[in-house]
Structure 1
Amino acid sequence: MLDKFLKHIAQTSDAPMGLEISHAEGPYLFTTDNKRFVDFISGIAVSSLGHRHPKVIQAIHEQVDKHLHVMVYGEFVQKPQVDFAELLTSNLPEKLNQVYFVNSGTEATEGALKLAKKFTGRSKLIGFKNSYHGDTHGSLSVTGRDVYRDPYLPLLPDVHFLDFNSDEGLDLIDDKTAAVIMEPIQGEGGIIPARKEWLKKVRTKCDEAGALLIFDEIQSGFGRTGNLFAFEEYQVVPDILCLAKAMAGGMPMGAFVSSLEIFQTFKYDPPLNHVTTFGGHPVSAAAAFANLRELLSGNYLQRAKEIEKLIKQTLTGKGIVEVRGKGAMLGLQLESWDLTKKVVEDCFENGILLGWTLHSNTLIRLAPPLIIEDELLEEVLHIILSAVQKHA
């Protein structure tokens, strides 16, 4: 099977992990050669309730028996979309009261950028160095790392990058700025939380300039940080909120959320000026509704904080620089690339699936599912710590 995978599936690296997956359940992945792996990265922050959560699977089965795609987005009233949008917006600040459903995180970013430019009538965009917002052209235009941008230049014009968590350059947010886009916690940039007072300054500058503030919570959303959304801890509300990853319990789905006032601009000059065929697919929407309802009814937000506490208490010592981040969105910073590589490889051999962020060779992503129990969590942490101690 691997040879066919390499021959027919377009590759994004010279060294894919190459695991042949048989099935998945809870915190585990199982391969066709009967190996079991603890998915300690949750499919890159997607499977926050573990793989195949029973309530999500039930919702998928029920919707499949009713209908699949029936019409492009926004034309027909479809109960799964309405139910999920109502539940989602009822758990957001009042001004985030309308949802536009898409299929992925980068599509959410693309839609948010278009919406900001349409509403403000401006073109200038502000992003931040080491940010990551997706790989399509618009999203890449506001992603703050040249190694990914340079092969595709020219990208969108009039995009400016500031230092994250720095007051320097904030005066670039002016009356020509359509939007400032940022992750409250930079994910691929190294799991770097924004400073609360700095984020409030950015909000104030946007208000003074009439620019929209876009929060990319594609990775940090849906309980991963110990709040339903990371911005809640900062007490700073964006004008547009981008979501995806953990939204639909493993089904493909994304969204950008804003106000009725701002979304009005998509309805004219011309009508239908932002459309999608499969956005808000009814099966994904049904899964997302079940996923969010379960997140809200359980102890998952508190569990994310407990996971953070246990990980930070356990992973200390020689070779470890720090564990940073919030909730179950953490990064293990090690002293060198060689050490990091050996730790990831050792853990892989011991059935623990880890990985790097895109922007760091010395930071291991730690994003366990929120359903993980203490016994398994402690076992995994012991394996990670032993690997560090072995090679440090």
Structure 2
Amino acid sequence: MDTRSLFLRHVAQTSDAPIGLHIISADGCYLYDADGNAYLDLIGGISVCNIGHGNKAVKDAVHQQVEKYMHIMVYGEVVQSPQVQYAKLLTDNLPSGLDCVYFTNSGTEATEGAIKLARRATGKTDIVACNNSYHGATLGALSVMGDEYWRNAFRPLMPGVWHHNYNSDAFVDAINENTACAIIETIQAESGVTVPSADWLQRVRTRCNETGTMLIMDEIQCGFGRTGKLWAFEHYGVVPDILLLGKALGGGMPLGAFIASYSKMNVFTHQPVLGHITTFGGHPVSCTAGMAAFQVLLQENIIREVAAKEKLFRELLVHPAIKSVRSKGLLMAIELESRDAVLSTLQRCLQKGLFSDWFLFAANCIRIAPPLTITEDEIKKAVAILLKCL
């Protein structure tokens, strides 16, 4: 059996029609398959590879850490410099109330930890979440996911979760004295890039303050410069009580985190002791890769160029088949007539060397979330291919 057949037979599948490319290498904004084909990457591993594929600084840092050690002990029991240094670097670049990092293996684990933290710290259990939201696929994260099609097969889920529309008065009004946390994506991604109004976010923040509710903001997809600011919440003048990070956090390695104040996070140390624990969360190699990638993001001119790149995409994406373009920085959704139109367009793009995807809750939209390092010429090439395939 060839490698693709082995993949289909022995690797658990998540759909009946995987893309199925056999990628053997990646560099910059390009992927290369086993047949020698190159693909311009417009999804960056779903907002993971923000500084591009194969960055030398990241690879060198990983190699150096592997030579020292890979795994020592479960999370939180021994001092591991990569965890400590990365936590310090992250909190140095966050508001003062976000000064304590709990590293996990993934974004969905960060969601689970944040829910536990909010319930433990407030003594309350109700949660207000958004329709068309995505925070991961484990049971707690699935409970706050905002689409019944994806939830229904796994019921019963966590009780006490109330869903309302993003940007709605009903969401704000649902937050009350029984609410442990309100959880939102700063920019809704899987809905096809839904951008909040600053007024709505500020009203959510105010209502949380009034009711003693913790505000969880999920920047797993929209953080790390993707919107043109380091953190998407900076656009709106709102700071969460708990920040969720993942994807680009690891610089291409598996890593997630939830970040809160030291005083709140300290509840995990007692009643019970080891109230939240993980074996591989904050793995030293992942923290090393993430820190190296974050340093590249901070030191180079990457984030400052995002707005101009967004503008170029929007100027070029003009075609009768395009119903709308929604974006915040380099997180973009191109709306077509139907899901079938999207799938056929994506297949034609793949044949011409352009790699993209769709959205979970907006299957009639094409996802544009390339490495932030994509060049002007690469943007022009990508859009030219896409327009020919519509």
For normalisation by structure 1, the TM-score amounts to: 0.98
- Residue identity in the other structure for 1:5: F
Maintained 8 Å contact 1:53/1:249: no
- Structure 1 residue aligned with 2:272: 270
**Is there any run of 5+ residues in structure 1 with no aligned partner, and where?**
none
| Counterpart-to-counterpart distance in 2, 1:179 and 1:376 | 42
Q: Deviation digits for residues 129-149 of structure 1, max 9, x if unmatched? A: 010111000000000100011
In structure 1, which of residues 116, 122, 126 is the aligned counterpart of residue 128 of structure 2?
A: 126
Is the counterpart of residue 21 in structure 1 residue 23 in structure 2? Answer: yes
Q: Deviation digits for residues 357-386 of structure 1, max 9, x if unmatched? A: 111121100011111111111111111122
SS in 2 for 1:15: coil
Is the counterpart of residue 12 in structure 1 residue 19 in structure 2? Answer: no
Is the counterpart of residue 97 in structure 1 residue 99 in structure 2? Answer: yes
| Counterpart-to-counterpart distance in 1, 2:340 and 2:11 | 30
Matches within 5 A, 1:126-205: 126-205=128-207
- Structure 2 residue aligned with 1:247: 249
- Structure 2 residue aligned with 1:106: 108
Compute the RMSD of aligned alpha carbons.
0.9
How far has the Cα of 1:169 moved from its partner? 4.5
SS in 1 for 2:367: strand
- Structure 1 residue aligned with 2:45: 43
Worse-matched range after superposition: 261-270 or 98-107: 261-270
Matches within 5 A, 1:373-384: 373-384=375-386
- Structure 1 residue aligned with 2:308: 306
- Residue identity in the other structure for 1:336: S
How far has the Cα of 1:303 moved from its partner? 1.9
How far has the Cα of 1:308 moved from its partner? 0.7
In structure 2, which of residues 115, 118, 122 is the aligned counterpart of residue 116 of structure 1?
A: 118
Q: What is the aligned-residue identity percentage?
A: 47
How far has the Cα of 1:341 moved from its partner? 2.1
- Residue identity in the other structure for 1:287: A
Worse-matched range after superposition: 203-212 or 328-337: 328-337
SS in 2 for 1:320: coil
SS in 1 for 2:63: helix
Q: How many residues align?
A: 388
SS in 1 for 2:190: coil
Q: Deviation digits for residues 16-48 of structure 1, max 9, x if unmatched? A: 111111111111111111111111100111111
Maintained 8 Å contact 1:316/1:322: no
Worse-matched range after superposition: 234-243 or 343-352: 343-352
- Residue identity in the other structure for 1:297: Q
| Counterpart-to-counterpart distance in 1, 2:305 and 2:47 | 15
| Counterpart-to-counterpart distance in 2, 1:235 and 1:57 | 35
SS in 1 for 2:282: coil
SS in 2 for 1:362: strand
SS in 1 for 2:169: coil
Maintained 8 Å contact 2:130/2:171: no
Q: Deviation digits for residues 170-204 of structure 1, max 9, x if unmatched? A: 22211100000000111112111111100100001
Maintained 8 Å contact 2:251/2:291: no
Q: Deviation digits for residues 246-305 of structure 1, max 9, x if unmatched? A: 112110000000001111111111111100000111101111111111100011112221
- Residue identity in the other structure for 1:338: D
| Counterpart-to-counterpart distance in 2, 1:33 and 1:386 | 24
Maintained 8 Å contact 1:178/1:212: yes
Worse-matched range after superposition: 197-206 or 318-327: 318-327
SS in 1 for 2:362: coil
Question: In structure 2, do the counterparts of structure 1 residues 115 and 341 end up closer, same or farther at CA, with 3 Å as the change threshold?
Answer: same
SS in 2 for 1:186: coil
Worse-matched range after superposition: 298-307 or 210-219: 298-307
Maintained 8 Å contact 1:27/1:39: yes
Maintained 8 Å contact 1:300/1:371: yes
Q: Deviation digits for residues 222-252 of structure 1, max 9, x if unmatched? A: 1111111100111100000000001121100
How far has the Cα of 1:335 moved from its partner? 2.2
- Residue identity in the other structure for 1:31: D
- Structure 1 residue aligned with 2:344: 342
| Counterpart-to-counterpart distance in 2, 1:267 and 1:178 | 20
Is the counterpart of residue 77 in structure 1 residue 79 in structure 2? Answer: yes
- Residue identity in the other structure for 1:383: I
